[in-house]
Structure 1
Amino acid sequence: MTVAATNASAPMRPQSRPRMAQFLFAAALCLAVAKLALPDGLVRPPDWLVWPFADWFNAVFSFIRDDLGLIHVTRAFADGLESVLDVTANLLYGKNRWPRLGPIPWSVIAITAAMIGYAINGWRLAAFAGLTFVWIAAMGQWQWAMETLSVIIVAAPVSVFLGLLLGTMGWKSARFRLVLNPLLNVAQSLPHFAYMIPVVVFIGVGAKAGAIVTIIFSVPPMIRMTMLGLQKVPSEVVEAGHMAGATRWQLLRHVRLPTARTELLVGVNQVIMQCLAMVVLASFIGMPGLGQKLLQLLQALKIGRSIEIGITIVLLAIMLDRCSKAWAVKQPVHLEKGTSWLMRHKLLVIWAALVAVFWALSLVFPILHEIGRRDALSLAAPLDAIMDWIIGTLDPVTQWLRWFLIVWVLIPLRDGMLWLPFSAVLVFLMAVGWAIGGKRSALVCLGYFGLIAMSGWWDRAMITVYTVTFAVFIATLIGFPLGIWGSRSKARAQAVLLVCDTLQTFPSFIYLIPVIMLFGVNDVAVVGAVVLFAAVPLVRYTIEGLRGVPEAQIEAADMSGATRRQTLWSVRLPLALPTIMVGVNQSVMFSLFMVIIAAFIGTQDLGQEMQRALSSSDVGKGLVLGLAVSFMGLMVDHLITVWANRRRRALGLS
């Protein structure tokens, strides 16, 4: 009887998941069709379901800030950080603070950047790094760029130190890691503005607030890479350290951390890029520099000047990315014992000599010290002329496209999303979760979007969902074919991936320039910016997935007489799909971030409310809105991760 029962129940388990998912899909459809007959409590979240999360957050923050006096600690820390920022500001652009030695001539900084590039990766990187600073000086953007770099120079080392410390603690303690990982998941899915609001409350505005929010934002990737690097240290290396009599500290300092060097330097690269991205966006809280200038120019619709600033930000991003990546892959050079000090430090000696020469020349030729606005170059006039011609030429197309998208796509899609009963959406998401991962995934979907319903921002969240859904759909139509085309040959894949690497270094603000230029300030521009930003990971992971298909599988298909198209659709794509879905996951996360950032050019979604919370320093409202965006991203991440793991197991890839 036991055997019979087992045999009878065995086939039901795999069938129960699709049956339950089908039932939930049908229930969601019935709720949507019967909307007019539903009670109000099933159409929109009833008052009793909306909890005052914002008030609770504000009460907690008020208690921490005022009753516990944390504001005095944060202000003291901010004042200490400001004194360090004053040093870099004095040296880089001459702010009247201690040590009152600056500003360093722009030519000296340019030659220093060139020498760093040469030391890391040779003449090409040296030329690129040096010419980047020549461009900045020649275009009259020196002070703005140095205001930006003066914060990055302080924030990046602090972020790296904190990331190393917390990452090491997470690696050593399983309990600490159990708490840390969920916090990192939420932190890395929160939009940028969610970090700014508490900082404004505790610190204020200005450069020190920009530095602190930059530190907070850029720490998580360093924590993750530190834990990953230390976990990957081979046990044989550790055993060798034990046999040599090393203490715990010596093992960490001289064995584990050097062995994890590559992962740690990849973390440093991510910290630097995150710092640049946040410093540019911190212009919303009074952070001076390139971001603030770009924001002012975009608001004034001065496209030519905006492009100039945009080029500078892009050059800085690419330079910092290339230098930090080259440092990550560069192996230490060990010279023979007895090598003279001069030979061991010849690049340092050459740099010191060049600094002395250029500093002396800058005293004789003031243009090598500072290029004033009168002497600076400007491409604004020709750029404006070119842009006017492009806009005039494309205007019939862009006008029609803007009209078509707004009238026939965006408004109907938005109205459709807002028309759906919230109960139907929740049941539909449960059905999707059940179909992919069973009961647990269904509850995860219900939990994330149930909390959004309880936040009181359901309609705004649905507008965000419609924008992201449509943008990711269009990005997929662009990125997927482009990725397939790029995977056709190794040379083509390398070229396209290089472009993707470059585009991913751009701070998100940059993607607003071309769409504002073509479409003005409206929802089409927002969708366009999101599409540009979200297409990059789709192209990248499509290429990596297709190029990563084992050659044996392709050869087997060729031997069976399959055409190239049949091999693509029947072999390459099925095997590459788990990797491609990672790109879809990143595309959704990028879209959520960009939608929130693009809110300043006119949307009615969560981003617009988050900017209002930022302007009124409403911590509770800002955190609730930020968590709503985070929950959307975490839900998609969960579903795609579960599906990809199942798919890999089915294909025997894991």
Structure 2
Amino acid sequence: MADSSWLSKFPKMDRSTLLEIRKTLDGLYRDFSREYGDLIESFFDPLLDFLIWFEKLLVQSPWWAVLICITGFVYMASRSKKLSVGVVVAFLLIGYFGMWQDTMRTLSIITVCTLLAIALGVPIGILMARSNRVQSVVTPILDVMQTMPAFVYLIPVVMLLGIGKVPGVIAVIIYAIPPVIRLTNLGIRLVNKEVLEAATAYGATPMQRLLGVQLPLAGPTIMAGINQTIMMALAMVVIASMIGVKGLGQPVLKSITNQYFTLGLFNGLAIVALAIIFDRTSQAYAKRTQKHVQGGHHD
């Protein structure tokens, strides 16, 4: 009893004031989305057009052509025959169990999200590595992005852009981009100072040092960040399906609401297969580039 009476004395904001604050903030955001929603949507139109085109390309192309392209890409990146055979087997099983279209849709959105995350994340990571002030500003933002439940930032994105592919991509990128930013920053900061001083002594400009020394040496760490980003993007597939992103997430969502265990299991395993393929390919590519960089420096 003593505990509960102590809690009741805890200073609380007046309920009506709290309600007023919430109403004001909700109203402001609603007004903002009504005022600028169309403008922001038109800004994302090229991205939407590209997403639709890329998804159609994967879904409507003959399955064998897509399979040859994916296997060829995996082999070029990894130089592993075992992994290439694994990819062929995995995709044949996915097709055999009738999940080809959904897998292609998921593959298209994950590929676009990963490329955008790299295009945005690596430059931010480089800026953080260059300036402690930028790092002190960006780090708390990344902390919030990584700990905020995905459902919370789905709300403003959906209010602003409605339901569909683009809000899905934005939500996935917000969730998945922190690792690539953090590890780009870390990788560049860990580059040996003596190597940089030697490059400067040879008359390298800051840009030459960045492209010729820092990025190649930080490559394995940056690849680890990209790898983490891909895994997190795939983890968001089911949540993104709640706001209209078609793919493997929707059957999983359907199986949760209707308690279809096998449907959920098969589609879940297809997501796992994609994750393993992405993971092994990016790791093998990172190892190859690391050997190449080390070999170059020994020479």
TM-score scaled by length of structure 1: 0.42
Q: What are the superposed Cα offsets for residues 16-35 of structure 1, whole Å, 9 maximum, x if unpaired?
A: xxxxxxxxxxxxxxxxx513
Letter in 1 for 2:260: K
Matched, 1:92 2:49: no
In structure 2, the residue matched to 1:14 is none
Matched, 1:110 2:76: no
In structure 2, the residue matched to 1:76 is 42
Letter in 1 for 2:2: A
Which of 84, 108, 113 in structure 2 is aligned with 1:155? 113
Q: Distance in 2 between matches of 1:159 and 1:204?
A: 22
Letter in 2 for 1:80: P
Letter in 2 for 1:266: A
SS at match of 2:26: helix
SS at match of 1:257: helix
SS at match of 2:174: helix
Letter in 2 for 1:123: K
Q: Which runs of 5+ in 2 are unaligned?
A: 294-299
Q: 1:21-40 residue pairs with structure 2 within 5 A?
A: 34-35=2-3, 37-38=5-6, 40=8
Letter in 1 for 2:45: D
In structure 1, the residue matched to 2:26 is 58
Identity of aligned pairs, percent? Answer: 34
Shift of 1:65: 3.5
In structure 2, the residue matched to 1:240 is 198
Q: Distance in 2 between matches of 1:321 and 1:275?
A: 12
Shift of 1:91: 0.8
Q: Distance in 1 between matches of 2:199 and 2:85?
A: 41
- CA RMSD across the alignment: 2.3
Change (3 A) 1:236 1:311: same
Shift of 1:83: 0.9
Matched, 1:260 2:218: yes
Q: Distance in 2 between matches of 1:78 and 1:183?
A: 23
Indicate conservation of the 8 Å contact 2:180/2:228, yes or no.
Answer: yes
Change (3 A) 1:325 1:280: farther
Structure label with greater radius of gyration: 1
In structure 2, the residue matched to 1:643 is none
Which of 273, 287, 294 in structure 2 is aligned with 1:315? 273
Q: What are the superposed Cα offsets for residues 360-384 of structure 1, whole Å, 9 maximum, x if unpaired?
A: xxxxxxxxxxxxxxxxxxxxxxxxx
Q: Distance in 1 between matches of 2:158 and 2:137?
A: 26
Letter in 1 for 2:99: Q
Q: Which runs of 5+ in 1 are unaligned?
A: 1-32, 94-102, 335-654
SS at match of 1:314: helix
Q: Distance in 2 between matches of 1:314 and 1:303?
A: 16
Indicate conservation of the 8 Å contact 2:150/2:171, yes or no.
Answer: no
Matched, 1:297 2:263: no
Indicate conservation of the 8 Å contact 2:251/2:263, yes or no.
Answer: no
Which of 100, 125, 139 in structure 2 is aligned with 1:167? 125
Which of 204, 207, 216 in structure 1 is aligned with 2:165? 207
Q: Distance in 2 between matches of 1:155 and 1:311?
A: 21
In structure 2, the residue matched to 1:286 is 244
Which of 63, 67, 92 in structure 2 is aligned with 1:134? 92
Letter in 1 for 2:72: M
Shift of 1:76: 1.9
SS at match of 2:177: helix
- Aligned residue pairs, count: 289
Matched, 1:273 2:239: no
Indicate conservation of the 8 Å contact 1:78/1:209, yes or no.
Answer: no
Indicate conservation of the 8 Å contact 1:147/1:288, yes or no.
Answer: yes
Matched, 1:217 2:183: no
Letter in 1 for 2:8: D
Q: Distance in 1 between matches of 2:114 and 2:176?
A: 8
Shift of 1:60: 4.9
Shift of 1:88: 0.7
Change (3 A) 1:237 1:41: same
Indicate conservation of the 8 Å contact 1:215/1:275, yes or no.
Answer: yes
Shift of 1:59: 4.7
Shift of 1:333: 4.7
Change (3 A) 1:59 1:182: farther
Indicate conservation of the 8 Å contact 1:40/1:46, yes or no.
Answer: no
Letter in 1 for 2:9: G
Change (3 A) 1:284 1:236: same
Shift of 1:328: 2.1
Letter in 1 for 2:210: L
Letter in 2 for 1:114: T
Q: Distance in 1 between matches of 2:198 and 2:161?
A: 48
